[in-house]
Structure 1
Amino acid sequence: MSTQMKSAALAIVRRLNEHGFQAYLVGGCVRDEMLGRTVKDYDIATSARPEQVQALFERTVPTGLQHGTVTVVVNRVPYEVTTFRREGDYEGFRRPAEVEYIDSLLEDLKRRDFTMNAMALNAEGGLVDPFGGMTDMNERLLRCVGAAEERFREDALRMLRCLRFASEYGLRIEEKTWAALQACVGLLQHIAMERCRAELERMLGGADPNRALELLAGSSALRHTKTDIELAKLDGIPSESWPDLLAIPSADERLVYLYLRLGLEASAITEDLKRLTFSNAQQDAASRTAGAHRELSASAAGGASGGNAREAWIRALLRYGADALLRLRRLYALDGHRLLGLRSLEIMDEARAAGEAALDAWILSGPAWLEAVPAGSLKELQVSGQDLVRHLGDKPGPWTGLLLSRLLEETALGRLSNDRDTLLTAAMELYETVQKKEHA
């Protein structure tokens, strides 16, 4: 796919050239091409004005005309084509107040953030590298184009991009660039939280999330976001205490792990994720995982072992769902002793041994326990609320849900068979107890 995309991108460049315009591949696609990495998309810069680009290609979308960008669509793949431009003063430490179309590739490249992103390729594959991007990449160096402080003051988001690029590509940040970042980091308060969240997600989902955490801590970047966030406290955790976060399969799970390391409750995690503009689905998954962790932590602290560990696991399943438990099991397999507090000096040896036994059971047997559960939700239970109402001859009420929950728990724990007659018989025996609880 990447070869086809490159061929199509070069075809766009050549068509522009044939009509008398300068045109080049620019930015991240050139950087990744030079590094031998997979190119995700190709961007093109040209001396042609947006209306001239639109006139030359059959399918175009005016995605960013105010910034000189037209998207050319070839075989349903989008290619951004942007007119060479010079940018005026920036507003809000984020975007230029105005742009001026120009005919100079050099001036266009001069406005970019880092030297490795300020290179271009012509139609024949010739490299244009006026700021030494290739030399910097060969020396594993990340350096701003021109004066670093100017670049960061123009667009404060570039500071988070700096941290992301350094961690993703294994680069050291040039001294002047790092000093400028530290001097300007307070400007992150002007950046929308959704942009900060996007950069954080990419760092955690990148090639070296541990290095990203080190850089975030060293810069105190998360302490300067527009809204205060709990994740800023991560810089108080020594970098050497982090496990290899790449062992956690996704950015979302790595994020949950970070919150659990901070010892936050589910509600606090949800609020922090809201502030960071994470989706409702991500908030829900993190909240349920944290809720299950709290229950299992209490069980481990109470000396759960053997059958008790299984019961704690199944009860957490009924309340928080199988996906939360499987997610939690992966985190426990990586760093369960620390997450459950089993390394605390205050824990007596006997309690620690019981907690470790429970942890081992959850890691080794947890998935099998989930598979063996006869009913893990009310949908899987062989009786309904209407069945109970008819069988017991009572009006529907809160007791119905309470009784169904009791039946589900007894079934999931293996104390009742998941068949209708058995459950209705048990319902008769539990009915009085549930009514007393309802009216208590």
Structure 2
Amino acid sequence: MSISIAIEVINHLRKHGYVAYMVGGVIRDKLLGRPIGDIDIASDARPEDTLRIFPKTIPVGIEHGTVIVRWKHESFEVTTFRKESDYADFRHPTEVHFHKSIEEDLSRRDFTINAMAMSSDGTIIDPLDGRSDIKRRQMRAVGDPLERFYEDPLRMMRAIRFVGVLGFSLEEKTRQALLKQAHLLKNVAVERNRDEFEKLITGEYCQSGLQLLIESSIHRFLPGKDYERLLPYVNREWNQLIRIEERWAVIGFCLQVKQLKQWLRDWKLPTNKIKKIIRLSALIQSSDDLKSDWSLYEYGPFDLESVVRMEWFLNVDEPVEFTESELRSRYERLPIKRRSDLAVNGHDIQQILGWKPGPWLGDLMAVIERNVVENRLENNRFVIKEWVQQWGYRQEKS
């Protein structure tokens, strides 16, 4: 998203007599030189004011003070400065109080590195010294970490996620609170834990995050069991696994999950992602020669390159049979990429033999297809016709 467009939104609020700042992750990522994701804006404008002064809005969370503002084809959450009371359900505050202070608003946030604001002129408001924590590369809860984690236990998973994404450590008081209150995570919906877990396992420093996940016993409140089995693999090169499905498949393999599909369902993963993970898991556990020309043809280079990466990860001391580039090059040299590339079709075969249609036709096409792929038969109409005639002759004689 664009900071310059966010500044336009802030200036539009200012033009109407309100104060506004960019808040949260955008400030953190800007200071770290990381790519900017979503940009949130905090303002003393109440939701009804925001709805009134902007032409395109979406009232997604008015009761909590949030309105989505559409500006130049981008979306920004504009939230009224607020302070929250007790959290009855470990997530939603019982009451939300709107007020006029950005400092009060920042004091309700989870971690100091997320509790900074920036005005349209670039001035950073940092009452909790988040910049110092960024320099120390540490995660520190805002105020009392026991209270922050009790308010919303997902913050513990967020802490571990940030360790895995940013490579930060946990400030000791925050770490002790996480160890003490890990059991509260059972009150968090699986979908919310899943979203944080996926960000963790795809993080640049996921080794550190996974180590903390296990050491803190947080894993005991996630779907599945025996996450300690990951420990021998924690310090391997996770960044060599490019697709998130590869990481899920490897974790399932390391945990020796017996009912993989059910485990993935327990994580509430989408059906299409589950299918991809199961496919990769089956390939990595297969005893077949997955590097053969037929396997390249059947599965394609995309999945087999994943297998190469997963095999490399799981068997770091063993030589890799093929590299990804070699697989891709071999795939490009295959005589056909799909059955429709064959020089003949079922109608041609039927005409050559003069036989009535039947199951034999599909079986014969499959034989021709495999012979062509494995270079035992040239993909040439006349060559295949001659081969089919000889095959038909043998069938009639037998």
TM-score class, shorter: 0.7 to 0.9
Q: Which residue of 1 aligns with 2:240?
A: 247
3-state SS, counterpart of residue 360 of structure 1: coil
The CA deviation string for residues 68-127 of structure 1, in whole angstroms up to 9 with x for no partner, is 111222211112110112223324322224423222323322221111111222344333
The CA deviation string for residues 42-83 of structure 1, in whole angstroms up to 9 with x for no partner, is 211111111111222232222322321112222111121101
Percent identical among aligned pairs is 33
3-state SS, counterpart of residue 70 of structure 2: strand
3-state SS, counterpart of residue 13 of structure 2: helix
Q: Which residue of 2 aligns with 1:284?
A: 275
Distance 2:131 2:322 in 1: 52
Q: Which residue of 2 aligns with 1:35?
A: 32
Amino acid at match of 2:380: D
Q: Give the C-alpha shift of residue 235 in structure 1.
A: 2.8
Q: Which residue of 1 aligns with 2:380?
A: 419
Whether 1:337 and 2:337 are equivalent positions in the alignment is no
Specify whether residues 94 and 431 from structure 1 end up closer, same or farther in structure 2 by C-alpha distance, changes over 3 A only: farther
Match of 2:299 among 306, 320, 335: 320
Distance 1:103 1:32 in 2: 26
Distance 1:56 1:177 in 2: 41
Query: Structure 1: where are the runs of 5+ without partners?
Result: 300-308, 344-355, 435-440
3-state SS, counterpart of residue 321 of structure 1: helix
Contact 2:44 2:81 in 1 (8 A): yes
Amino acid at match of 2:315: H
Amino acid at match of 2:245: D
Matches within 5 A, 1:178-327: 178-225=175-222, 228-229=223-224, 232-239=225-232, 242-262=235-255, 268-295=259-286, 297-299=287-289, 313-327=292-306
Distance 1:87 1:394 in 2: 79
Amino acid at match of 1:325: L
Distance 2:387 2:262 in 1: 41
Calculate the aligned-residue CA RMSD, in Å.
3.1
Contact 2:59 2:68 in 1 (8 A): yes
The CA deviation string for residues 3-23 of structure 1, in whole angstroms up to 9 with x for no partner, is xx3233233333333433332
Matches within 5 A, 1:426-437: 426-427=387-388
Q: Which residue of 1 aligns with 2:52?
A: 55
Query: Structure 2: where are the runs of 5+ without partners?
Result: none
Specify whether residues 364 and 26 from structure 1 end up closer, same or farther in structure 2 by C-alpha distance, changes over 3 A only: closer
Q: Which moved more, 1:101-110 or 1:249-258?
A: 249-258
Contact 2:22 2:119 in 1 (8 A): yes
Q: Which moved more, 1:394-403 or 1:90-99?
A: 394-403
Contact 1:376 1:408 in 2 (8 A): no
Match of 2:370 among 395, 409, 425: 409
Specify whether residues 241 and 167 from structure 1 end up closer, same or farther in structure 2 by C-alpha distance, changes over 3 A only: closer
Q: Give the C-alpha shift of residue 315 in structure 1.
A: 3.3
Distance 1:335 1:385 in 2: 43
Contact 1:214 1:239 in 2 (8 A): no
The CA deviation string for residues 253-311 of structure 1, in whole angstroms up to 9 with x for no partner, is 3333333444567xx4444333323333333333332333333x454xxxxxxxxx8xx
Specify whether residues 31 and 337 from structure 1 end up closer, same or farther in structure 2 by C-alpha distance, changes over 3 A only: closer
Normalised to the residue count of structure 2, the TM-score between the two structures is 0.86
3-state SS, counterpart of residue 238 of structure 1: helix
Q: Which residue of 2 aligns with 1:166?
A: 163
Specify whether residues 427 and 160 from structure 1 end up closer, same or farther in structure 2 by C-alpha distance, changes over 3 A only: farther
Normalised to the residue count of structure 1, the TM-score between the two structures is 0.79
Q: Which moved more, 1:26-35 or 1:151-160?
A: 26-35
Specify whether residues 219 and 388 from structure 1 end up closer, same or farther in structure 2 by C-alpha distance, changes over 3 A only: farther
